[in-house]
Structure 1
Amino acid sequence: MAVTRTLEADVLRRQDPELADILLGELDRQSTTLQLNAAENFTSPAVLAALGSALANKYAEGYPGARYHGGCEIVDVAERLAVERAKALFGAEHANVQAHSGSSAVLAAYAALLRPGDTVLALGLPYGGHLTHGSPANFSGRWFDFVPYGVDAETGLIDYEQMRLLARTHRPKAIVCGSIAYPRHIDYAAFREAADEVGAYLIADAAHPIGLVAGKAAPNPVPYADVVCATTHKVLRGPRGGMVLCGAELAGQVDRAVFPFTQGGAQMHTIAAKAVAFGEAAAPEFGGYVRQVVANARVLAAALAAEGLAVTTGGTDTHLLTADPAPLGVDGRTARARLAAAGMVLDCCALPHADARGLRLGTAAVTTQGMGEEEMPRIASLMAGVLRDQVEGKQVREKVRELVTAFPPYPG
């Protein structure tokens, strides 16, 4: 692998061989196991180059043209480029690209629009809501009064009528739409209508679908939401980080909420890597990539259902799917552990209207590697064999290695 050879020749090998071995070990893990985590992907070598650049040395509190440190002339250009690319990619009037993560982006949105004690309506955690959507272990659940809406018990789809009734009853200051485990497109127009009816802000947490939006394979929340929070990794295939999109009238509030209210100095190497990712996502071939991601996810969902797993909502519109392995005689946590031992890496998640954990998996990373619809039934078969305990994990792991090495994430 080119990346491996570069790292081996790098100064890190001479300066700190122990850490170099750790990095090489992680690269080997990623290159020999199936990365089915719905929240992960492989960045391009260009994104990695920006992350490891001299921009990591620069302290740059503030915004372009108004920094608290000298010597920011060059990094100002990098941040302006990232901002302009993000605005063009998503059709937003304003973009803040400094958020360190998706959670940081959500925190900034709340800080810009809300005050402690305000009522917020969001998808309940058992139905796929994020920690920042009201978990008592998170700042959101401690600082705000969250009211959860849910999904239909039979279909698993968002109960929009329940959401509207709760909004009319509780008159929230904001309504949050978005999920970490909802496999269907969100009806942003319905949320906008509900928010307007009760005079609430609409916050879209688009951490998962934003990459699909960039490739025009999912609805764009920007025309509907007052503020859109997102990550720059996952399907978008950029560095780990966040961003906030909004209209011009909220730009000042959002920027002040990011800095100085919730964060200090911007990570300029990460912002440059975000600019690279936005540029890559604007290329025509990125649209083909995300369409393949969705096609792969749909085939994988159907193949898992054929193997006996209970796929929630009956399938997926996006890059992710969730499934209950109970019909195969195993619970979610045990299933995840068995699959990990066999070289298949994915997550657990809550199952709607069930006191059990299911599996959450996605196709963004394997699609980046070049896998297509032909490989998805094979993956489903390998998973089912492990979950039924019909095949030894070591045997499956070797088959997984053979599959993955045929599609190296960093060929060279």
Structure 2
Amino acid sequence: MTSLAVSAHHAPARHPALAAADPELAALVGAEERLQADTLRLIPSENYVSQAVLEASGTVLQNKYSEGYAGRRYYEGQQNVDQVERLAVARAKALFGVDHANVQPYSGSPANLAVYLAFAQPGDTVMGMALPMGGHLTHGWGVSATGSWFRGVQYGVRQDTGLIDFDEVRDLALKERPKVIFCGGTALPRTIDFAAFAEIAREAGAVLVADVAHIAGLIAGGAHPSPVPHVDVVSTTTHKTLRGPRGAMLMCREEHAKAIDKAVFPGLQGGPHNQTTAAIAVALHEASGASFRDYAHGVVANAKALADELLARGFDLVSGGTDNHLILMDLTRRDVPGKIAAKALDRAGIVVNYNTVPYDPRKPFDPSGIRIGTPSLTSRGLGTEHMGAVAEWIDRGVTAARTGDEAALAMIRAEVADLMAAYPAPGLPV
């Protein structure tokens, strides 16, 4: 097996200026390229961007400050930058069918914070899914600024089904009358019923926000229902399933456009990262093509096939399976904590993250579950015919984690590397 040790002579030839200026950093980049190339990446929030997205992210647009919006800047010399931002905005509006798009948020958490700034005051009640149930920190959870500055109330899932109980959501919303309701999360393996949330939000008089950071690419590719007809605001990152750079977007109805734009700038940030805006534009262009639709549906098909294979091997899956790109596994009956399993699988070349499961008796930093997903492997060209092998590796890896069998993990690592060599990843050197 090829060593992953970092050394200066491994500096990638395709980064000659970096290798000359900073060989130590260049060696680390080269090591990461090799790590991404020969491991099976199953973290559902990770993916591979195209070479075009990588190139756009590193252009001379990095050199420009552009506070304000296209046609309304506080700096001169924006002739080209304005066109880049307008292109990204137009592509977002066309792809998602929205009235308005803001492509300037630096990432998903700042984008969600802008939503609060637009529609709530400090101390107001806000509502979202509880973090241990699959929600996100920024949906009003206590350790987040959103839970400190606002009064966060949380809904969860049923213990018996792992599904959202909309009667409970409605009762909570009518009792607490939140200004903002978030739907969506980071560990939700089932289709989000945006229409049901919209009905509750209307009755409670709340602004409804769909955080689709995880499933934006599935929505763009027609593999998950769109929230756009039902919600006031859509918040999303531009990476994950959308296969763009590390950035974010806010999309909304025209009536909320001014409030959203004002919240992003000057409310929370200064100049946008123009090189990221350019890469977002490229990713949105790629997502409008037929091949991306095939990819999005392939992600879901692979996840469902992998879930079936895991169930057949006796694994406990939250909600019993998946409708999207994500699988949440409860390892309690396997008698191995999620953290120990995740670290063992990493040594086996299978990259996952340990994760809480609903009603988890263990602590968040040492939880009962692991979270896996199929975006990255689908981007490499793996299909449903490979999911049996992936499930077998996970099964063997979890067993080895429990028994401490490092030889078994090393054997899996070699097998994984062999398969990955046959399916080169987009954007990585071959």
TM above 0.5, one fold? yes
Q: Verify: 1:322 aligned to 2:328, yes or no.
A: yes
Match of 1:122, SS state, is strand
Choose which of 271, 277, 294 in structure 1 pairs with 2:300.
294
CA shift, 1:385, in A, is 0.6
Q: Verify: 1:61 aligned to 2:67, yes or no.
A: yes
* Counterparts of 2:309 and 2:90, CA distance in 1: 41
Mapped contact 1:308–1:328 kept (Cα < 8 A): no
Choose which of 398, 402, 411 in structure 1 pairs with 2:418.
402
Alignment partner, residue 6 of structure 2: none
Q: Which 10-residue stretch deviates more, 39-48 or 339-348? A: 339-348
* Counterparts of 1:165 and 1:8, CA distance in 2: 58
What do the CA deviations read for 1:214-253 (whole angstroms, capped 9, x no partner)?
0011011111111110010001000011100001111111
Alignment partner, residue 359 of structure 2: 353
Runs (5+) with no aligned partner, structure 1? none
* Counterparts of 1:200 and 1:136, CA distance in 2: 20
Mapped contact 1:312–1:323 kept (Cα < 8 A): yes
Q: Verify: 1:106 aligned to 2:112, yes or no.
A: yes
* Counterparts of 2:187 and 2:231, CA distance in 1: 20
Alignment partner, residue 91 of structure 1: 97
CA shift, 1:5, in A, is 9.7
Q: Percent identity?
A: 48
Alignment partner, residue 382 of structure 2: 371
Could you state the TM-score of these two structures normalised by the residue count of structure 1?
A: 0.97
Match of 2:122, SS state, is coil
Mapped contact 1:309–1:326 kept (Cα < 8 A): no
* Counterparts of 2:382 and 2:246, CA distance in 1: 23
Choose which of 279, 282, 295 in structure 2 pairs with 1:276.
282
Q: Verify: 1:393 aligned to 2:399, yes or no.
A: no
Alignment partner, residue 3 of structure 2: none
Mapped contact 2:67–2:73 kept (Cα < 8 A): yes
Match of 2:251, SS state, is strand
Mapped contact 1:329–1:388 kept (Cα < 8 A): no
Choose which of 211, 219, 230 in structure 2 pairs with 1:205.
211
CA shift, 1:171, in A, is 1.1
Q: Verify: 1:140 aligned to 2:146, yes or no.
A: yes
What do the CA deviations read for 1:334-393 (whole angstroms, capped 9, x no partner)?
111111111111112211122132111110000000000111110110111111126621
Runs (5+) with no aligned partner, structure 2? 1-9
Q: Verify: 1:381 aligned to 2:381, yes or no.
A: no
Could you state the TM-score of these two structures normalised by the residue count of structure 2?
A: 0.93
Alignment partner, residue 336 of structure 1: 342
> Aligned runs of 1:143-222 on 2, under 5 Å?
143-222=149-228
Mapped contact 2:11–2:23 kept (Cα < 8 A): no
In the alignment of these two chains, the number of paired residues is 409
Measured at CA, do residues 173 and 341 of structure 1 come closer, stay the same or move farther in structure 2, by a change above 3 Å? same
Equivalent residue letter for 1:393: L
Q: Verify: 1:128 aligned to 2:134, yes or no.
A: yes
Measured at CA, do residues 286 and 343 of structure 1 come closer, stay the same or move farther in structure 2, by a change above 3 Å? same
Match of 1:359, SS state, is strand
> Aligned runs of 1:250-261 on 2, under 5 Å?
250-261=256-267
Match of 2:371, SS state, is strand
What do the CA deviations read for 1:21-57 (whole angstroms, capped 9, x no partner)?
1110100000011111100100000000100111111
Equivalent residue letter for 2:43: N
Equivalent residue letter for 1:363: T
Q: Which 10-residue stretch deviates more, 158-167 or 9-18? A: 9-18
Alignment partner, residue 35 of structure 1: 41
* Counterparts of 2:360 and 2:106, CA distance in 1: 34
* Counterparts of 1:408 and 1:146, CA distance in 2: 44
Measured at CA, do residues 407 and 378 of structure 1 come closer, stay the same or move farther in structure 2, by a change above 3 Å? same
Mapped contact 1:175–1:201 kept (Cα < 8 A): yes
* Counterparts of 1:403 and 1:284, CA distance in 2: 27
Q: Verify: 1:309 aligned to 2:315, yes or no.
A: yes
Match of 2:384, SS state, is coil
Mapped contact 2:99–2:253 kept (Cα < 8 A): yes
Match of 2:423, SS state, is coil
What is the root-mean-square deviation of aligned Cα atoms in Å? 1.4
Mapped contact 1:300–1:380 kept (Cα < 8 A): yes
